[in-house]
Homo-oligomer: A and B are copies of this chain.
Amino acid sequence: MRNRNAAPRKRRRPAQGAGSPRRPRRREGGGYARGEHTRRRLLDAGIELFAELGYERASTRAIAHRAGVSLPALQYYFGGKEGLHRACAEYITADVRARLEPAAKRVRTTLGRDDLTRAELLELLRAVVEPFLEGLATERPESWALFFARAQGEQNAAFDAIFQQIGGRLLTLVMEIIGRILGGPAAGPEVAIRAVVIVGQLTLVRRARSVILRALGWPDFDGERLQTLKEVVWRGIASSLG
């Protein structure tokens, strides 16, 4: 049923390499309300399916279908699969970053003081770490955290954006606080490594979810168990800085 005509058509390569993100030719002037709506639906469906299946296995058809729009709409608004993936990353990133900003500001102003006690510094660290941990484990649709975790494992282009906007910011904050606690040089390897380990423990909660549950024989995280988890992780962090 395919290739009905005997004369072989000229083989066209895709206009742009499959891997490289394409510049969407969105409107310059006014935006149509309807267009913004389907754009948004594609974003939501993309986040869900990328999180469920990972980048490769989430087909553009499945995404378009879940969004309730036709396939070319995806190309139209995001230039292609990779463009959509990147857009999803930026969408999530912007929100999380906004929620991280108040803590960041508080840290910077507080660190201006010279007379901070160890307890105060620990409390500051906790104020940064705890909401992040909570957000990873429960807050926001589950697909967000899963999307996050997938992107990290898959080393996508989206990962760079996520790291810069969130991971890097969080890491910088933690490094500044830890540097004060440990008293050493703020940019030295000691401080950096310990900061990475701490931040890593947070993301661990999501990544090693199945491992943890299996090791504990728990069916799933309910509210109380999550509380236990947070408590134990935090105690470990605090005492490792003693």
- Listed in ascending order, the chain A residues whose CB lies under 8 Å from chain B are 1-3, 8, 54, 56-57, 149-150, 152-155, 163, 167-168, 171, 175, 189-190, 192-197, 200-201, 204, 207-208, 210-212, 214-216, 225, 228-229, 232-233, 236-237, 239-242
Q: Are A154 and B54 in contact (CB under 8 A)?
A: yes
Q: Are B228 and A193 in contact (CB under 8 A)?
A: yes
Listed A/B pairs (23) with beta-carbon separation below 8 Å: A2-B3, A3-B3, A54-B154, A149-B153, A150-B153, A152-B153, A153-B153, A153-B154, A153-B207, A163-B211, A168-B214, A168-B215, A171-B211, A189-B229, A193-B233, A196-B212, A197-B201, A197-B232, A200-B200, A200-B204, A239-B239, A239-B241, A239-B242
**CB-defined contacts of A3 to chain B, threshold 8 Å:** 2-3
In the docked arrangement, what's the CA distance between A229 and B242, Å?
19
Which residue on B lies nearest to A238, using beta carbons? Answer: B240
Whether A236 touches B154, Cβ cut-off 8 Å, given contacts A1-B8, A163-B214, A189-B225, is no
In the assembled complex, the CB of A11 is this many whole angstroms from the nearest CB of chain B, namely: 11
**CB-defined contacts of A229 to chain B, threshold 8 Å:** 189, 193
In the docked arrangement, what's the CA distance between A107 and B232, Å?
25
**CB-defined contacts of A201 to chain B, threshold 8 Å:** 197, 200-201
In the docked arrangement, what's the CA distance between A167 and B211, Å?
9
In the assembled complex, the CB of A206 is this many whole angstroms from the nearest CB of chain B, namely: 11
**CB-defined contacts of A237 to chain B, threshold 8 Å:** 240
In the assembled complex, the CB of A83 is this many whole angstroms from the nearest CB of chain B, namely: 19
Which residue on B lies nearest to A53, using beta carbons? Answer: B56
**CB-defined contacts of A239 to chain B, threshold 8 Å:** 239-242
